Amino acid sequence: MSGFFSKVKKGMGLGTEPDVFEEAEKEYVEIETDAAEEKAQITVRPFNIEDFSDIKDILRALREGYTVALVNIKPIKEKDVIELKRSINKLKKTCDAIDGDIAGFGDDYIVCTPSFAKIYRAPKPKKKD
């Protein structure tokens, strides 16, 4: 490596005086990557919505960007359909804001994903006239 910097110095006409190139050869900075590696893991996490206030945890997890949420909506659906619609609308708005995706999975589950994941949707069959 020192040969490379020497050739660069000679090519630039800098001579042999000590300068930044020699300091660069002797010192380096080590960057810790442990924190970045922990955040890079993707978590698939189940949630239950029994009340509108239960979506706060789901929204927080989605905004962090590393969680795919599997949301059980059966408890709130049995209690109050209006609260269910309110909850789903809030989840939709958050998914749109983070460029995520949301889809129903059966009658009792919703899947919410952050921007790196999209939910597969089967192509709709064409209607015959």
Give the pLDDT confidence score for residue 89 in this predicted structure.
96
Please state the pTM of the whole predicted model: 0.64
pLDDT of residue 125: 85
Q: Tell me: the pLDDT tens digits for 40-68?
A: 689 999 999 999 999 999 999 999 989 99
- Helix (H) or strand (E) run with residue 2 in it: helix 2-12
69: nearest Cα among 57, 81, 85, 79: 57
For domain 38-113, the CATH class is alpha beta
For residue 72, pLDDT beyond 60:
yes
More confident residue, 124 or 27: 124
Helix (H, G, I), strand (E, B) or coil at 42: coil
Q: Where in the chain is the domain with CATH 3.30.110.150?
A: 38-113
Q: Taking a C-beta distance cutoff of 8 angstroms, is the pair 119, 101 a contact? A: yes
Q: What is the pLDDT of residues 81-116, one digit of tens each?
A: 999 999 999 999 999 999 999 999 889 999 999 999
Residue predicted with more confidence, 29 or 99: 99
| Alpha carbon separation from 91 to 83, 97, 126 (Å, rounded) | 12, 10, 30
